[in-house]
Amino acid sequence: MLRPQGMVTLSLGATDRKDAWWLSPLLFAIAFGGFSIYATWAAWQNEFYRFGPYLSPFYSPLLKPEWLPPWLSPAFLILGAPLGFRLTCYYYRKAYYRAFLLDPPGCAVGEGKPSGYRGERAFPFILQNLHRFFLALAILVWGILVKDTVEACIWDGQFGIGLGTLVMMVNVVLLGLYTFSCHSFRHLIGGKHDCWSCLTFGKQRHTLWRGVSWLNGRHMQFAWVSMIWVGLTDVYIRLCAMGLLQDSRLF
Amino acid sequence: MSTQKVTLRVYRGDAESGELQDYTVEVSEGMVVLDAVHQIQATQAPDLACRWNCKAGKCGSCSAEINGKPRLMCMTRMVDAIKTAEGGPILVKPMKTFPHIKDLVTDVSQNYRNNKKITPFRPAPKGPDGEWKIFQYEIDRAQEFRKCIECYLCQNVCHVLRDHHEFSFAGPRYMVRAAGLEMHPADQGDRIDQLKEELGIGYCNITKCCTEVCPEGIHITDNAIIPLKERVVDEHYDPITALFRKVFGKKAPPNPAP
Ligand code: SF4
Ligand code: SF4
Ligand code: FES
Ligand code: FES
C-alpha cells in the first residue's frame, strides 16, 4: 500500500492559492457579527419599537404575558424562531462553518485539525436536521409580519401609506423570498418525489417545484438582503419613534 | 499573442519523496496547461508522469492542482494560469487527497471501493406494453448527475477527505451518483439508510467546495447532497413525516402500469 500523500496534514490556512479566499468569510463574519450585535442591542431596548401603526419586526408578534418581568423585553420571547431558522439554514451553515469554525476556512486551504471530525453526524450539529421545524415557525412569523404590514396601512381607522409602510412591505417581500427559497421547503413541496407522472397533478406540482428551485438558486442573495433589510426596518421605526426621523406620509 | 516563455513548477517524485522542479515552456495562443506538460515531456523530461486521455474535459483523467486550485489540466488555459500565478511560476501539483504514485499521478482506487457500497439501479417492473414510461421533465434532475466525468476533483477538495482523511464518507461524487439513482423515476432501490450509515452523508457540512470545483458545473451540494439530507431527515429525524407515512403508507410505487 502506498503511503497516502493525503495523510499529510496542512497547518491552518496553508494553501498554494494566491487569490483572496479569506475575503468572503471575512465579509460574512463582519456582516453577520454586526447584525447579531445590533439585533441583540435592539431586542434589549424594550422601547421605541412602535411608531404610529408600525411595529418593528424584531418585536413581532408582540407577546406580553403577565408573568413577563418588566426588565425583560418581549422580543426575547420570539427571537428564537428567526434565530433558529437562520442558524440551521443550509446557506448560513456553510457560511459560519467556514467563517467561524474554519471547517474548512476555504477550499483547498489547510485546517490543521485532522482527527475527531464528526460533521453533522453527532451533537451538536446533528440538530441541524431540525431545520424544517424552524421553517414551519418562520412561515408562521412571516404570516404575522404580513398582518403587521397590512395594519401599517391603517392610521386611526383611515387608510394611509407612509414611507415606513413601504419599508415594511419591502421587508415582508424579502423575508418571503428568503423563507420560500429554503431547501427544506423545496423538498417538502415536491422535491421528495421522483416519479412526478405517478402523482395526481404531478405536472403542476413539478412546475411549482421548478419555481421554488429557481428561487432556491438565489437563496444566498435572499439571505443577505433580507437580513440587512430586517435590520434597517427596525432602525427606521426606532428612529421615527425616538423622534430623530420624520416619517413622511405618502397618502 | 506571440509565443512567451513561462516557468512551470511541477511536482516530481514518487511515494517515497518528491520535490518541485522548474521547467521553462514556450506558450503560444490557445495553449492549455496539459499542452505545457506535454511540451515538458517532449523536450525536457520524458519520464514526467501524468494521466490524460481526451484533452476535451470529458474523460476526467487529467485532474491536478494548478496554482493551488483543483482543476482539469486540459481545461485550464495557460493565459488564465499565468494570471492566477500572479507573476510567479505556474504551480502544478498532483491531487493532495489521494495516495501518491508518481509525479502528477495519484491512486484514486479508494473511490471505486466507495462506489461499490451504493445499491445499483433497481428498475421498476415494465408496464403492460413492455416499456417504462418516463417523461423528460421528470428525468431532467437525474440527468444533471449523469454529466459527471469522475474526475474526482470534488473528492480531492472535500475537506472531510482532504483534511480529516475520513474515508468512511463516500464523498461528493458518490452523493451525486446516489442522488442520480434515488431520484430516478423508474428506480425502486432505497438508499436512505445506506446514505446515513455506510456512505456517511452526515459528515458533509455543506460547505460547497465540491460544487465550486466541479468542471461539469453539477450543483453537487444544492441538487444532490441537500435533497438527500432532507430525505434522510424524512426517515430518521422527523417524527411528523414518520407518523404521516405510518398512517398513509409509504411513497407511491414508482412508475405504476398506466
Ligand atoms: S459540500 Fe460536503 S461533500 Fe461538498 S466539499 Fe463540502 S463537505 Fe465535502
Ligand atoms: S461530480 Fe463533478 S467534480 Fe465530482 S467527479 Fe463528477 S465531474 Fe468531477
Ligand atoms: S432557510 Fe436557508 S435552507 Fe432553509
Ligand atoms: S484529458 Fe480528459 S478531461 Fe482532461
Q: Are residues B155 and B242 in the same domain?
A: yes
**What value does the mean pLDDT of chain B take?**
93
- CATH code, B28: 3.10.20.30
Q: In chain A, which residues have pLDDT < 50?
A: 1-4
| Residue A164 near residue A237 (C-beta atoms within 8 A) | yes
Number of domains in chain B: 2
Q: Cell 495553449 appears where?
A: B31
Q: Are residues B120 and B177 in the same domain?
A: yes
Q: Write out residues 56-75 of B within 8 Å (CB-CB) of A.
A: 65, 67-70
Q: Do A195 and B200 touch (CB under 8 A)?
A: no
Decide which of B48, B77, B106 is a domain's last residue: B106
Evaluate if residue B254 carries a pLDDT over 60.
no
Q: Are residues B100 and B115 in the same domain?
A: no
Among A37, A86, A250, A200, residue whose Cα is nearest residue B252:
A200
Q: Answer yes or no: is B91 within a domain.
A: yes
Q: Counting beta carbons within 10 angstroms of the beta carbon of residue B47, is it exposed (0 to 12), middle (13 to 18) or buried (19 or more)?
A: exposed
By Cβ distance, the residue of B65, B165, B186 closest to A6 is B165
Q: Are residues B113 and B221 in the same domain?
A: yes
Q: What is the mean pLDDT of residues B84-104?
A: 95
The ligand with the least distance to the CA atom of B221 is 1
Contacts of A225 (CB under 8 A, 6+ apart): A174
Evaluate if residue B257 carries a pLDDT over 70.
no
- What's the gap in Å between the CA of A174 and the closest CA on chain B? 21
Measured between alpha carbons, how far is A161 from A52 in angstroms, rounded to an integer?
A: 11
Q: Is A3 on the interface with B (CB under 8 A)?
A: yes
**Mutate which: B207, B220, B221, B251, vs A, most A CBs within 10 A:** B207
Evaluate if residue B34 carries a pLDDT over 50.
yes
* Residue B51 grid coordinates: 494521466
Q: Are residues B82 and B160 in the same domain?
A: no
- What's the gap in Å between the CA of B42 and the closest CA on chain A? 27
| Residue B127 near residue B187 (C-beta atoms within 8 A) | no
Decide which of B106, B137, B152 is a domain's last residue: B106
Region class of B63: left (phi > 0), else alpha (psi between -120 and 50), else beta: beta
- CATH code, B168: 1.10.1060.10
Q: Are residues B140 and B236 in the same domain?
A: yes
State percent of chain A over pLDDT 90. Answer: 88
**Would you give the DSSP letter of residue A10?**
P
Q: Are residues B44 and B122 in the same domain?
A: no
Q: How far is CA A248 from CA A91, A160, B148, B150, B238, in A?
A: 36, 11, 56, 60, 48
Q: Answer yes or no: is B34 within a domain.
A: yes
Q: How confident is the model at residue A115, as a pLDDT?
A: 81
Which value, in Å, is the radius of gyration of the alpha carbons in chain A? 22
Q: Are residues B222 and B139 in the same domain?
A: yes
Longest dimension (CA), chain B: 72
Q: Is the CB of B218 under 6 A from ligand 2?
A: yes
**Mutate which: A22, A92, A107, vs B, most B CBs within 10 A:** A107
Q: Answer yes or no: is B62 within a domain.
A: yes
Measured between alpha carbons, how far is A50 from B116 in angstroms, rounded to an integer?
A: 61
pLDDT in tens, B202-230: 999 999 999 999 999 999 999 999 999 99
Q: How confident is the model at residue B249, as a pLDDT?
A: 67
State percent of chain B over pLDDT 70. Answer: 96
**Lowest pLDDT segment from A211-220, B70-79, B98-107:** B98-107
pTM of the model: 0.95
Decide which of B75, B106, B137 is a domain's last residue: B106
Evaluate if residue B190 carries a pLDDT over 80.
yes
Measured between alpha carbons, how far is B187 from B255 in angstroms, rounded to an integer?
A: 9
Q: Are residues B11 and B36 in the same domain?
A: yes
Q: Answer yes or no: is B254 within a domain.
A: no
Measured between alpha carbons, how far is B153 from A149 in angstroms, rounded to an integer?
A: 48
Q: How confident is the model at residue B251, as a pLDDT?
A: 53
| Strands laid side by side in the B90-93 sheet | B18-27, B4-13, B90-93, B63-66, B69-72
Evaluate if residue B256 carries a pLDDT over 70.
no
Question: Would you place residue B127 in the very low, low, confident or very high pLDDT band (cuts 50, 70, 90)?
Answer: confident
Q: Are residues B13 and B132 in the same domain?
A: no
The ligand with the least distance to the CA atom of A138 is 3
Q: Are residues B102 and B113 in the same domain?
A: no
Q: Answer yes or no: is B256 within a domain.
A: no
Nearest-CA residue of chain A relative to B101? A2
Mutate to test the pocket of ligand 1, among B175, B206, B212 (most ligand atoms within 8 A of CB): B206
Q: How confident is the model at residue A1, as a pLDDT?
A: 32
Per CB-CB distance under 8 Å, the chain A contacts of B68 are: 15-18, 108
Q: Are residues B133 and B237 in the same domain?
A: yes
Among B192, B198, B194, residue whose Cα is nearest residue B238:
B192
Count of CB atoms situated within 10 Å of the CB of A223: 21
Among B45, B81, B83, B51, residue whose Cα is nearest residue B66:
B81
Q: Answer yes or no: is B258 within a domain.
A: no
- What's the gap in Å between the CA of B147 and the closest CA on chain A? 19
Q: Answer yes or no: is B255 within a domain.
A: no
Count of CB atoms situated within 10 Å of the CB of A165: 23
B120 is in which domain, residue-wise? 109-248
